[in-house]
Chain A
Amino acid sequence: MTETALIGGARQPKAPRASSGRAWLLLLPAYALLLGVFVYPVLESVWRSVSDPTLGLDNYVWALSNENNVGVILRTFGNGLLATAICLALAYPYAYLMTIVGARARVALVVIALIPFWTSLMIRTFAWIVLLQDNGVVNTLLGAIGVGPLELLRTNTGVIIGLSQVLMPFMVLPLYAVMSGIDLRLVTAARSLGARPSVAFLKVFVPLSMPGVIAGSLLVFIQALGFYVTPALLGSPADSMLAQSIYAQVSGLLQWGRGGALGVILLVVTVLLLAVIGLIARVSGRRGINVKVL
């Protein structure tokens, strides 16, 4: 936020001081909104998690001693990692293709990547229900080649398929943004100095694309952790993720304190993971890999 403001100020270097001071007021609405609809509810959840129904850590004891909850938390992070890995594996070659094809093909590839982005999440998730159900398109095709039928809908596999597809644009776009800024002549230079194509790609292109990899992975991973609709519709209550457990506590049982505790756990673990990734990025940055995302 602060950086954005400074950049905003720096764009008008000739403006008088007073005016640039007042320019800060432009941030007020955004900050007020953030305070009202983000900071306050988060603090309220934290407070309720230690005060509802009685003051103390009962809700956390419940959250971490209940076997189901631990399973749900592990599944949530496991699904997040898996969806991120799948997105990366599919999006990386796609984004690379976008950088090396001609302008017209690139437009087509961008549009294809963006179509899901412009389509309602609900519609895409319901489409997956139609595709994945026992007598759905996927199982019919699998049957035609002699595989299956596989159990896809209402399983964790279904959830991961849905998550990966829904979150794919968040991987493709940062990757493409970074890759399109990489000077491909560097790869050519490496090859002219005797590197095999694969070596040139791995030693030159891949490290330069790391900021995109990290940015995309973070976007996908963090969004996957908090996903509600897709796991609720494609999974079964037996494979629920954290957002569903929170919903069950708050809406079904009116246990706001327990819901709050689960939310705080999700938040804390996520922040810890980010800190670790940031640390790794910084260390590898010192080793000469240019990672500016964090």
Chain B
Amino acid sequence: MINTKRTILTSVGGLALTVALVGCSAGGAPVEVDLGSGPAVAGTVKAGALDGVTLTLASWGGLFQEGQVTAASEPFAKESGATMLEDGPTEYAKVKAQVDSKQVTWDIVDSDIIWADMQCGDDGLLMDLDTTIVDTSNIPDGLVGDCYVPAMQYGYVIMYNEDAYPSAPTGWADFFDTEKFPGKRAIAGFEDIGPGVYEGALLAEGVAPEELYPLDMDRVYAKLDGLRDNLIYWKTGAESQQMIESGDADMALVWSGRGFGAVENGANYAPIWDQSLVVADALGVPKNAKNPDAAFAYINYYLGAKQQATLSEITSYSPVHRDAKPNLSELGQEFLITNPDISEQMVPTDASWWSENYDAELNRWLDWIQG
């Protein structure tokens, strides 16, 4: 990541003015907050504890951020007295610029979980979680890091065309078996890398889920080489859904929300939940935030069962509280990865392995994909 620094330094120059301007409006000394006593309980905040505090949530916009506002920000503002502002989309260079200049205007940042994991510790951009304020006890395993909680979770799942395959494929081995299941496979192919077909390649080889990491990437690419001629690549979630709805992909590895969207629109495709992957977005507090206690209080509130249920109902992503019971359509329930029938079949992924190997693996992937 040597080059990141240079890029970001340039952005700092460009941002200086913005930061200065925003800094004035958001200025003022940190407000002392009294969040009450006793252990934190997710989904609650002491009434009126944050009168006079202003917090800004930076997220990805669109339906997802609308869901966050309705499910968490609005009720949180009402109960705590805080003023909640929205910004976005999340840009990592901006987070870096704010932290470096000690002018942090994004108090809570929604980010990719791999990026978040790279930001934990002394050199990172995110603060360690204050677990006296944030109750993480109901979050599913493997999704909490030192400096972040999951913002939502979803499945990375194979969808297959039920018309194309009268005898249904059942897992990763079939995804890679082009003799038994001929046809095109759609996978992600853009300038980013993370859990996905790589874990799938090893699972197809029979590697046990708990022995996946560290990933044996030579073995992964040997497996992928055999599938190359059958692969087509999507660059956005919308495109992946389009490939299913148009029937271009006989099997597609997609985000569960997109699989849901395609089936809801009438595509005769079905998910293979067996050994599908759990992935998540992250929520963290940048270092040098003006009022970290208040920001963590927001995160604690965000993680409540009711808030998470509402978020799922609006966004079709799955909740990160074990007891969240979103009121969804029958089809929606079939794509809810917290549904026990589904969750017990899924395989967790390791964001820290990906964050440690991100640059090298992204280079290798882009070389392979163009080769």
Please report the number of residue pairs spanning A and B whose Cβ atoms sit closer than 8 angstroms: 64
Q: Which of A129-187 contact B (CB under 8 A)?
A: 133-136, 153-154
Q: Which residues of A contact B265 (CB under 8 A)?
A: none
Specify which of A133, A248, A256 is in contact with B7 (CB 8 Å cutoff). A256
Binary contact track B1-32/A, C-beta < 8 Å → 1, others 0: 11110110000000000000000000000000
Q: Does A68 contact B (CB under 8 A)?
A: yes
Docked complex: A217-268 residues within 8 A CB-CB of B: 232, 236-238, 240, 245, 247-248, 251-257
Contact (Cβ within 8 A) B3 A252: no
Contact yes or no, A72 B370, CB < 8 A: yes
Asked if B208 lies at the interface with its beta carbon under 8 angstroms from chain A, I say: no
Q: How far is the CA of A52 from the CA of B2 in the complex (A)?
A: 10
Contact A256 B3 (CB under 8 A): yes
Contact of A247 among B7, B191, B246, B369 (CB under 8 A): B191
Say yes or no: is A207 at the interface (Cβ < 8 Å to chain B): no
Can you name the residue of chain A whose Cβ is closest to the Cβ of B8?
Answer: A254
A252–B366 contact, CB under 8 A?
Answer: yes
B218 sits at the interface (CB 8 A) = no
Q: Does A66 contact B (CB under 8 A)?
A: yes
- Residue in B233, B247, B366, B369 whose CB lies within 8 Å of A154: B233
Tier of interface size on chain A: 20 to 34
CA distance A153 to B367 in the complex (A): 22
Nearest CB of A to B1, in Å: 7
Q: Does B6 lie within 8 Å of A253, measured CB to CB?
A: no
The interface centre, meaning the residue of A237, A251, A255 with most chain B CB atoms within 10 A of its CB, is A237
B contact residues around A3 at 8 Å (CB): none
Q: How far is the CA of A153 from the CA of B2 in the complex (A)?
A: 37
* A236 close to B248 (CB less than 8 A): no
**Residues 185-205 (chain B) with a chain A CB within 8 angstroms:** 189-192
**Is there contact, CB below 8 Å, between A236 and B366?**
no
Contact residues, A54-74 vs B (CB, 8 A)? 66-68, 71-72
Using A252-B190, A252-B366 as known contacts, list a sample of 17 further A-B pairs with CB atoms less than 8 Å apart, ordered by residue number in A: A52-B6, A53-B2, A53-B3, A133-B248, A134-B248, A154-B232, A154-B233, A232-B235, A236-B233, A237-B190, A240-B370, A248-B191, A253-B3, A253-B362, A254-B1, A254-B3, A254-B7
User: Please, could you name 17 A-B residue pairs with CB atoms under 8 Å apart, sorted by A?
Assistant: A53-B2, A53-B3, A67-B371, A133-B246, A135-B248, A136-B246, A232-B235, A238-B233, A238-B369, A240-B370, A251-B191, A253-B3, A253-B362, A254-B3, A254-B7, A255-B3, A256-B7
